[in-house]
């Protein structure tokens, strides 16, 4: 599952970067109207902020799971580790989905690249080997 979600980041990047998914033509009669910016935050700023928060939250989940201790202070594997892993993966992939949305909307490639990069870093930080304890692993 982790490998598939990590691979999807590259798939989103390829689809947007090489033009397989293109923004709608503004001259198209069925094209969506672009919302006016009246001093508010733009979509790239909002999605980048949410993406960064989600990536940090995904890595925080891993840190919480790795630091669960019993009453004697020994590390234990919580019963909820698998749902926490799934939540961490979902949060780690969300910046890439936001980058894909920005690419589909025809936004600046810089904002997309930042989101794809953040998503990849979060996904690599949440790999199964670092998330789940190995046999005999005390630290």
Residue 130 has pLDDT above 90, yes or no: no
- Residue 25 located in a structural domain: no
Percent of the chain having pLDDT more than 90? 47
Domain hosting residue 104, numbered range: 2-18+42-131
Q: Please report whether residue 32 resides in a domain.
A: no
pLDDT surpasses 70 at 32: no
This prediction has a pTM of 0.80
Residue 13 lies in a domain: yes
Residue by residue, DSSP assigns 83-135 as HHHHHHHHHHHHHHHHHHHHHHTT--HHHHHHHHHHHHHHHHHT-HHHHSPPT
* Any domain includes 30: no
Q: What is the pLDDT of residues 38-94, one digit of tens each?
A: 667 888 999 999 999 999 999 999 999 988 888 888 888 888 999 999 999 999 999
**Total domains in the fold of the chain:** 1
Residue 12 structure tokens: 């989103």
With respect to residue 100, please indicate whether it lies within any of the assigned structural domains.
yes
DSSP 73: S
pLDDT band at 35 (very low <50, low <70, confident <90, very high): low
Does residue 92 lie in a domain region? Answer: yes
Report pLDDT for 30: 54
Average pLDDT in the chain? 84
């Amino acid at each position: 599952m982790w490998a598939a979600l990590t691979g999807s980041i590259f798939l989103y990047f390829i689809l947007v970067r090489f033009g397989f998914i293109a923004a709608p033509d503004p001259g198209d009669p069925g094209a969506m109207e672009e919302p006016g910016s009246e001093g508010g935050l733009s979509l790239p700023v909002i999605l980048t902020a949410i993406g960064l928060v989600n990536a940090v939250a995904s890595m925080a989940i891993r840190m919480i799971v790795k630091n669960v201790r019993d009453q004697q202070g020994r590390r234990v594997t919580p019963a909820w580790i698998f749902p926490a892993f799934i939540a961490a993966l979902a949060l780690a992939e969300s910046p890439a989905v936001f980058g894909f949305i920005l690419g589909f909307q025809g936004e600046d490639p810089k904002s997309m690249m930042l989101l794809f990069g953040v998503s990849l870093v979060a996904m690599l930080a949440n790999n199964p080997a670092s998330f789940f304890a190995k046999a005999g692993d005390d630290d």
